[in-house]
Structure 1
Amino acid sequence: MARLIKVTYQVWPTAAEMALASARKFAETVETAVAKHGVARLAISGGSTPQATFKLLADPAGPFAKTIPWDKLQLFWVDERCVGPDSPESNYGVARDLLLSKVPIPAENVFRMEGELDPEVAASRYESTLRNVLKLEGAETPAFDSVTLGMGPDGHTASLFPNTEGLNELGRLVIANHVPQKDVWRVSLTWPVINHAAEVVFEVEGPSKTDVLAEVLTGPRDPDRLPSQLIRPANGKLLFLLDEAAAAKLPPAEEAGNGYRVGTLEI
C-alpha cells in the first residue's frame, strides 16, 4: 500500500488565469531556488497547456521576462517526441520558439532531449547529460527544484502511457518508451526521477480532462491504467493548477482570494 500524501489543487476560473498562475509559480520557483543554492533546475513538459505560460513568461511588457534571473536557470525536459528540434511536434522546439528565443537564458543552460536520434540512444545520452550536469554519483537521482507535468485524457503523464513498459522501470533516469496505442516511441524521465523533485506541479485544463482527473485523484488506485497516479513526490509537495472545467468533478474547493479556490486531498 502506497503511503498517503496531501495534494493541493488550485482552481482558476479560466485557462488564461491558470496560465498566469503557472507563470507566477515558475518565476517564484526560480527565484526561491536561486536564493537557496545559486541555481534553479527545472524540468518542463510539452503539449498545448504550457504554451500560454511560455508566452506570458516571454512577454517583454509583462512582469516576468525582465525579472527572472534567466542566467541562473538550468532548463531540462520531462519528455520528448521522436522528432527533430524544428518539428512542430517537438516539445523543445515549441519552448524555443515561444520562450527561449525571447529571453536571455544562456544556450549552455538549456538541455534538450535529442528526439531526432534513435530513441534508446537519445535516452542514454540524456541520462549521461543529467549525470554530468548535475554531478550525480553512482545510483544518485536528480533532484530538480520543480517538475511541471501535464495529463492526457487517458491518464498519462510525461511519456508514461497506460500499460507501457516504461511504467516498470525503476533503475534508469531516462527511458525510450514505446507507445503501442499511438505506434510511436517517446523519450521520458522515469517516474522515480519525477518523484525525487522538490515539488511537482500538474497543469490540467479543459473538459476533456474532467473525468480522468477525478479518477486519478479520487478513484481507485490503478497506475497501470492511470500512470499519473504514480506521481507521489517523496517530500509530499504535489500541486495541481486547474481551470474550472477540469476541476468540475473534484470535491468542492474553498475561496482563497485573488480569484481562485483551493482544495486538498489525501491520495
Structure 2
Amino acid sequence: MIPVAVNNLTVAYHRKPVLQEVGFEVPEGKLIGIIGPNGAGKSTLIKAVLGLIPSASGEVEIYGDSYKKQRKRVGYVPQRGSVDWDFPTNALDVVLMGRYGHVGWMKRPGKKDIAFAKECLNKVGMLDFADRQISQLSGGQQQRVFLARALAQDADVYFMDEPFVGVDAATEKAIISLLNELKARKKTVLVVHHDLQTVEEYFDWVLLLNLRKIAFGPTGEVFNMENLQKTYGGRLTFLQDQQVLVDETKQE
C-alpha cells in the first residue's frame, strides 16, 4: 500500500496560493528529499499533509486512509526553531511524548515505554543526557532529542522538516545513520532539505517543489540541471569547474 498519496493539494494564505495542485505518490521504504527555494512551500506541504494547517482543496491519504485515522503510523520532526525550548522538561520526557499515541494521553507511560524511550535516546547518542533540561542542550543535541521522540512513535512514515539546519557535523552524521536505519527497516522518510550538494548522497527519491511540483522521482532521474533550473530559476548557480551546486536562497 502507498504510504503517502497527495492529490491536487492546494494551500492558500490570505487567498494567495502557496501550494498549487501538488500531487505525488510516495513509494514505501525510501528516503525522499523535498527541495526547493525559500518560500517554495516545502514546510507548508508537510504541515498540510499532517493537518496542522488547512488546505483549500485536494486530498491526502496515509496508507489509504485519512491522517486522523492513521496518526499512529506517522512520526514528525518539526523545525527546531518552531519549538519552545524553554519549556521546563527534560530530554527523556520529550521522547516519552512520542509514546502517547500508543498509551493514550490520559495514561502514564509504563516501564516498557520508558525503556523504549531510553533505547531511542541511545540510538541518537543522547542517553547520557536523559535527565538534562532541554533548554540546557545545544542546538544539535536538541535536534537529536526530537529525532529520538520521532523514533519513540515507532511510526511507518516519518516527516522531518529541515533536520540538518544548524547542526554540527557529528549530529548530521548521526541523523544520516538514523535515516539509513529507518530505511533498512522499510520505513518511509520525507525530509525537507536545503543542501543541494548532499541530495544525491542522502536521498533515494526527490521532490522538487516551487509552489507546484516541478518533478518527483528517483534521484538519479530527476535531480538534474534542467529540473533544478525550473525549480530555482536565476537563484541557482552551477560552478562547473568544481561541480558544486549552490542554492543562493540560503544567503538571503
Q: Which has the higher strand share?
A: 2
Structure number with greater Rg is 2
TM-score bin (small chain):
0.3 to 0.5
Structure number having the greater helix percentage = 2
The TM-score with structure 2 as length reference comes to 0.41
TM-score calculated relative to the size of structure 1: 0.39
